[in-house]
Amino acid sequence: MLKISELSAQTGLSAHTLRFYEKHGLINASTRSEAGYRFYSEADVRRVEFVKTARNSGFSLEDIAQLLSIRVDKQSHSCQDVTDITQKKLDQVNAKIEELQSIQQTLEILLESCCGGPENASHCSIMEALDEGLTRDQARSESQ
Amino acid sequence: MLKISELSAQTGLSAHTLRFYEKHGLINASTRSEAGYRFYSEADVRRVEFVKTARNSGFSLEDIAQLLSIRVDKQSHSCQDVTDITQKKLDQVNAKIEELQSIQQTLEILLESCCGGPENASHCSIMEALDEGLTRDQARSESQ
DNA sequence: TATAAGCTTAGAGTTGGCTCTAAGGTCAAC
DNA sequence: GTTGACCTTAGAGCCAACTCTAAGCTTATA
């Protein structure tokens, strides 16, 4: 049985974060000392590691709550239940990547257009492009 | 001279957002009516459009505040000042894209590993992978 | 036995960018 | 002159995922 600081050391999650996860129903200490100190069993540790791994995989805490409810009763859920959550998350990630790539492209075009030198910015082409609303080259990006 | 609702209609930014930008020092109505109503000049509108374009280009409001301070006194700033801000933003965007691509890869590997079918999740390989801490295939992604 | 480290709780603060509300003043149209 | 749309302000609320604080108890060490 581990105390919260020991679990923290073992998982790399702060004690604050562990309590926060508990408050949100993700994890729990299966026992408490008389004084109320949390004590974590091996099964508790595995659950916390699951949460950590899912977090590192990009799942939100809400996603993880769903995954955990599947985890405790795998018989009552299908593989499709799991892939649905995973696919939805992948779709979100892909959408965000596309959004950022559009911004990336805009910024690259801006940087290419400007000398970046020590001359004053009176005719800086980045400033001009921002003033003109990303006309011309940024037509594609702008439509996003 | 435009009232705030007219500026809102012209820019697509809500009146709330325009007041919010004002509170944060980005924009201003150069005149007010006797009753305190904001009135925006052509120059005000151009400044708001600049903010909107910069926002669409991925700049934060803090970045934009810097860009605006260059904009009002271009003589006192160099092209390098502008490219520094832009490059820093591009670096941030690239870092975020890489992070998301790592997550994307992890999620794709998870999805490939699972049948996604109606059978129960007792041996679901996504659940197993999350339980085992993304061992094997996810070695690269995990190190992020 | 005293000190310090560690634990408890409820609840507030952080980040960034809005978004909305309440309570009231203004203005144009009928 | 009254209805309703629009404007004003200060300030609260929202999102996610923490992160921290305060005030007080417990436990381990010297």
Nearest to B93 by CA among A28, A72, A50, A111: A111
Neighbours of A23 (CB within 10 A): 9
How far is residue A38's CA from residue A29's CA, in Å, rounded to a whole number?
6
What single DSSP character describes residue A105? H
Mean pLDDT of all residues in B44-52 = 98
- Residue A77 reports pLDDT greater than 50: yes
Q: What is the mean pLDDT of chain A?
A: 93
Residue of A49, A72, A120 for testing the chain B interface, max B β-carbons within 10 Å? A120
Please compute the mean of the pLDDT values over residues A28-34 and round it to a whole number. Answer: 96
The Cα A88–Cα A66 span in angstroms is: 13
Cross-chain residue pair A90–B107, CB shorter than 8 Å = yes
Q: How far is A49 from A45, CA to CA, in rounded Å? A: 6
Q: Residue A89: what pLDDT?
A: 98
Total domains, chain B: 1
The verdict on residue B30 lying in a domain is yes
The protein side of the strand C contact, defined by CB less than 7 Å from any of its atoms, consists of A 3-6, 15, 19, 29, 32, 36-38; B 14, 16-17, 19-20, 33-37, 55, 60-62
pLDDT in tens, A87-104: 999 999 999 999 999 999
Average pLDDT, chain B: 93
Q: Is B144 among the domain residues?
A: no
Distance, in angstroms, between B34 CA and closest chain A CA? 31
CATH code for the domain in which residue B21 is found = 1.10.1660.10
**A45 pLDDT above the threshold of 80:** yes
Q: What is the pLDDT of residue A57?
A: 97
pLDDT of residue B94: 98
B7, B40 in Cβ contact below 8 A? yes
Best mutation site among A11, A46, A56 for testing chain B: the one with the most B CBs within 10 Å?
A: A56
Nearest chain A alpha carbon to B72 = A122
Residues of chain A numbered 10-49 and touching chain B (CB < 8 Å): 46, 49
pLDDT of B142 reads: 41
Confidence (pLDDT) at B134? 84
Domain containing A44 equals 1-58
Does some domain include residue A70? no
**Does residue A141 surpass a pLDDT of 60?**
no
Nucleotide nearest to A20 (CA to C1'): D18
CA of B70 to C1' of C28 (A): 41
Rounded to 10°, the helix B15-23/B4-11 angle is 100
In a domain, A127, yes or no: no
**Mean pLDDT in residue range B112-121:** 93
User: Does residue A9 form part of some domain?
Assistant: yes
pLDDT of residue A138: 46
CA of A61 to C1' of C8 (A): 24
Distance A56 CA to D16 C1' (A): 15
What mean pLDDT comes out for the span B33-48? 97
Tell whether A106 is covered by a domain: no
Nearest-neighbour CA in chain A from B39: distance (Å): 21
- Region of poorest pLDDT, from A36-40, A131-135, B98-102: A131-135
Q: How far apart are CA A53 and CA A64, in angstroms?
A: 10
Summarize the confidence of residues A2-8 as an average pLDDT: 97
